[in-house]
Amino acid sequence: MSEQVVLFADDNPDDVDLTLLALHEIGFPYKVIVARDGEEALDYLFCRGAYANRDSSQLPALILLDVRMPKVDGLQVLEGVRASPVCKNTPVVMLTTSDEPRDRATAERLGASLYLKKPLAFPDLCSLLGKLQTLIPPRR
Amino acid sequence: MTLRAKLLAFVLPYAAVTVGLITVFGYFAARGILVSDVEAKSRAIVVGYDKFRTIVNGLRTRNPVMLRMPLTELTSGGALSAAALDPDGRVIAHSNRLEEGKTSSLPPFEQRRRREPIPERVTVSGRPAIRTTLPVWTEPGLNQPSVELGSIQVTLPLQATLVTAQRLSVELLGIILGVIAIATAFLFWGLRWLLRPVSELAELTARLSSGPFGQTIAVRSNDELGELARRFNELSRHLAETAISRDFFEAVIEEVLNGIIVTDAGGRITLANQVAADVLGRTPGELVGAPVRKFIVRRSLKGHGGPRRFSGEASLIGAAGTIPVLVGVSRLRYRGGQRSLIVSFRDISTLNRAKSDLADANRELEAFSYAAAHDLKTPLRTITNYSDLVLGQPAALGDPLMADRLGRIRSAGKRMAELIDALLLFSRVTRKEAARTSVSLSAIAREEAQKLAAADAGRAVKTDIEPALDDLGDEQLIRLLLRNLLSNAWKFTSRSRAPKVQFGREKVDGASAYYVRDNGVGFDPRYLSKILVPFERLHDPAEYPGSGVGLPLAERIVRKHGGSFWAQSRPNEGATFYFTLHRRLAAKERQMRQADPRDV
């Protein structure tokens, strides 16, 4: 049986590093697949492009999406996820820099599980990411 | 036909008929008098004859020779003839001997028996004449009755008399005509004098119809015409005071900045000003007579100010295309039942363009703020988070100087992120349209106070919130407003011994004003105008932290609701922040704006 994975899409390398550091800090027990933008995230989810040859039976247990990304933004990825019969029930967490009410409303409408504002302090980031584990359903 | 001519025409026929009647009656009267004169004369001739004895004897004897002499004498006084007749009418003797022996007509015996002269109108050789018959009887004696001896007849000519009567009546006619001519002349001039006020009134009316109102005429008499002139002067003055001349009306119509079109009952344009023509790209002359429907796209307009007035947005069909306008339509009904439509409109294409430009600008600003928020905060987050990471390293823990410097970097980054958030919130609120639903201000204030108390559990602040304060407004914005005011009060009572925050409503200048009052540090009223400037601060951020947009934001929210925001405070005596919704209090706003920090 293969390891459970979490898909994480963010275009900012600093944020990616910080998030990975924080996940490491809290002892996050899942493998994190990093996509550098929304398009790459969708490629991974639907086994396209660079991920054409991956094992399609392995779906992420959780998807972490930055809202603002080049090409395809986080909200569009969320829309794609919810529209797909394969992963429509996968928990999706939105991460954002600007707490724009309109984005929050769109995310809620599209069925995001959580909408989190990226904190300024590292300890806050750690405690915020600690909540993620509760979203992942236990393995059958 | 003038009034004078009419009066003359009315009088002259009567005068003519009167003249005719007087002439005819005059003629008959003169003739009657003259004829009876002749009768009297003939009787006098017969009765006054001195040799009557001879005639009696002549008749008794029926001797013509005896009678001829007196008969000739009787004719000498101008008589045509004289005759002596027997009782049967046979001529015994005649001044014209050729007539002797003939029979002449006699008046009836009954008349003759009265022995009085009997005048008769007769015709002799076709000419009119008067013949007077004097019956001659014997003197009655003892036992001897009076016997008719015969008669004497004297005939006088009437021709000259009748001619005289005619001449008299002709002279009379002449006199009367002369009198009438003089009277007519007097009447002609008299009427002119009498009717002068009427012609003056007529002239004034003519002048008023073309010239300015207010002109008057002299009042010349106290009769009905004088009264008429007085009333007319009053009318003219009244018109001058109240009437608007057509020139004035048209000048106003032309000066108005709106397009104005007036139609008749059938919807045909009767008047259009230059603005209307310009908007439609036509000349006023081209518009007049055309149906108004040709230029207006029908829209459902809302009634306003009465059942005959409508207004709203509509489109006009101009020469160069459709023009959006704000239009007002009034249906008029004159007293005579005549109907009319007044359409006034304002071209709002510039306004619409400006609106759309503004919407574009707002969208751009929104996109910019969105990007700015994201792009400015992302590096800040890197700064603060990595500072935290470094601060967690053993090397930093061992070097207090490094830890202090890194700490400063981190808090500066946090402060900047807060300012960016405040700026974004401020710009978002400024752009937002305020909704209008029923809002419970008391409930919101209670919730926000509870949140403040929960977030700051170490402090015991007494809150006093008036219940059941409801109003119309935008719930989100009012929540933000109360949150800002309450947290402001919360913050500035942090050094008070018994901190107290109140929310309530009271009457100020006749309006319902809400207030948030605290017994905190307060501020100098000279700085009132400063508290509405974003990022302006009256206190040290280290002592009282905050972004500096709380109160300016509160003021913008109140203004969006059509209300006023003002404050009252003294240093160390607490502060009260007031606001109204839907009603502006200019005096309070002025008081806020005019506070000058340089005042001592």
Any domain includes B181:
no
Residues of chain B with pLDDT under 70: 244-245, 298-300, 304-307, 334-337, 597-600
Q: What are phi and psi of B50, to 5 degrees?
A: -85, -20
- Enumerate the residues of chain A whose CB falls inside 8 A of the CB of residue B421: 99
Residues B458 and B418 in one domain: no
Residues B398 and B525 in one domain: no
Give the three-class secondary structure for B348: coil
Residue B353 pLDDT:
92
Compute the distance between CA of residue B544 and CA of residue B100 in angstroms, rounded to an integer. Answer: 175
Looking at the 3D structure of chain B, how many domains does it have? 5
In the sheet that holds A62-66, the strands lie side by side as: A31-35, A5-9, A62-66, A92-96, A114-117
Residue B63 pLDDT:
86
Residues B340 and B276 in one domain: yes
Q: Percent of chain B at pLDDT above 90?
A: 16
Provide the CA B362 distance to its chain's centre, in angstroms.
Answer: 52
Site from A122, A126, A127 to mutate, B interface, most B CB atoms within 10 angstroms? A122
Q: If we measure between CA atoms, which residue out of A108, A117, A113, A111 comes closest to residue A132?
A: A113
Is A120–B384 a contact, with Cβ atoms under 8 angstroms apart?
yes
Residue A10 pLDDT:
93
Residues B291 and B244 in one domain: no
In sequence order, what DSSP letters do the residues of B66-122 get, joined into one string?
Answer: HHHHHHHHHHTTS-SEEEEE-TT-BEEEESSGGGTT-B-----HHHHTTT--EEEEE
- Enumerate the residues of chain A whose CB falls inside 8 A of the CB of residue B382: 14-15, 18
Residue B161 pLDDT:
83
Among residues B347, B375, B400, the one where a domain terminates is B347
Provide the pairing of β-strand B296-297 with B309-318: antiparallel
Q: Which residues have CB under 8 Å from B472's CB, separation 6+?
A: B436, B437, B438, B439, B581, B582
- CA distances to A16, A24, A119, B413 from A95, rounded to whole Å, are 12, 18, 10, 20
Compute the distance between CA of residue B51 and CA of residue B59 in angstroms, rounded to an integer. Answer: 13
Is the predicted pLDDT of residue A140 greater than 60, yes or no? no
Any domain includes B91:
yes
Residues B473 and B572 in one domain: yes
> What residues are paired with B516 via a beta bridge?
B503, B577
Residues B547 and B489 in one domain: yes
**pLDDT tens-digit readout, A78-137:** 999 999 888 888 999 999 887 778 889 999 999 999 999 888 889 999 999 988 888 887
Compute the distance between CA of residue A75 and CA of residue B365 in angstroms, rounded to an integer. Answer: 21
Residues B360 and B392 in one domain: yes
Any domain includes B80:
yes
CATH code at B485? 3.30.565.10
Residue B597 pLDDT:
66
How many A×B Cβ pairs under 8 Å? 52
Compute the distance between CA of residue B121 and CA of residue B161 in angstroms, rounded to an integer. Answer: 13
Which one of B378, B379, B388 has the shortest CB-CB distance to A121?
A: B388
Residues B88 and B112 in one domain: yes
Residues B293 and B219 in one domain: no
At CB < 8 Å, which residues of chain B contact A? 370, 373-374, 377-382, 384-386, 388-389, 392, 410, 413-414, 417, 421, 424, 428
Half-sphere exposure of B12 (CA within 13 A, CB side): 12
Q: Which of residues 59-88 of A touch B (CB under 8 A)?
A: 68
Is A120–B386 a contact, with Cβ atoms under 8 angstroms apart?
no
Residues B445 and B565 in one domain: yes
Among residues B376, B396, B427, the one where a domain terminates is B427
Residue B588 pLDDT:
86
Among residues B347, B365, B382, the one where a domain terminates is B347
Provide the CA B389 distance to its chain's centre, in angstroms.
Answer: 89
Q: What angle do CA A65, A71, A77 make, to 5 degrees?
A: 35
- CA distances to B23, B141, B430, B560, B579 from B552, rounded to whole Å, are 116, 164, 10, 12, 13
**pLDDT tens-digit readout, B445-498:** 999 999 999 988 888 889 999 999 999 999 999 999 999 999 999 988 988 889
- Enumerate the residues of chain B whose CB falls inside 8 A of the CB of residue A118: 381
Residues B18 and B148 in one domain: yes
Any domain includes B53:
yes
Structure tokens at A111: 């069925």
- Enumerate the residues of chain B whose CB falls inside 8 A of the CB of residue A125: 385
Any domain includes B391:
yes
Any domain includes B174:
no
Which one of A101, A118, A120 has the shortest CB-CB distance to B413?
A: A120
CATH code at B113? 3.30.450.20
Q: If we measure between CA atoms, which residue out of B38, B28, B33 comes closest to residue B128?
A: B38
Which residue range is the domain that position B311 belongs to?
A: 256-347
- Enumerate the residues of chain A whose CB falls inside 8 A of the CB of residue B389: 18, 21, 122
Any domain includes B192:
no
Q: Is the pTM of this model over 0.95?
A: no
Residues B513 and B545 in one domain: yes
- Enumerate the residues of chain B whose CB falls inside 8 A of the CB of residue A12: 378
- Enumerate the residues of chain A whose CB falls inside 8 A of the CB of residue B428: 101
Residue A1 pLDDT:
47
Q: Which of residues 31-60 of A touch B (CB under 8 A)?
A: none
Any domain includes B409:
yes
Provide the pairing of β-strand A31-35 with A5-9: parallel
Question: Is the Cβ of A101 closer than 8 Å to some Cβ of chain B?
Answer: yes
Residue B306 pLDDT:
67
Locate all alpha helices (DSSP H) within B432-523, ordered by sequence. 441-455, 475-492
Q: What are phi and psi of B472, to 5 degrees?
A: -95, 140
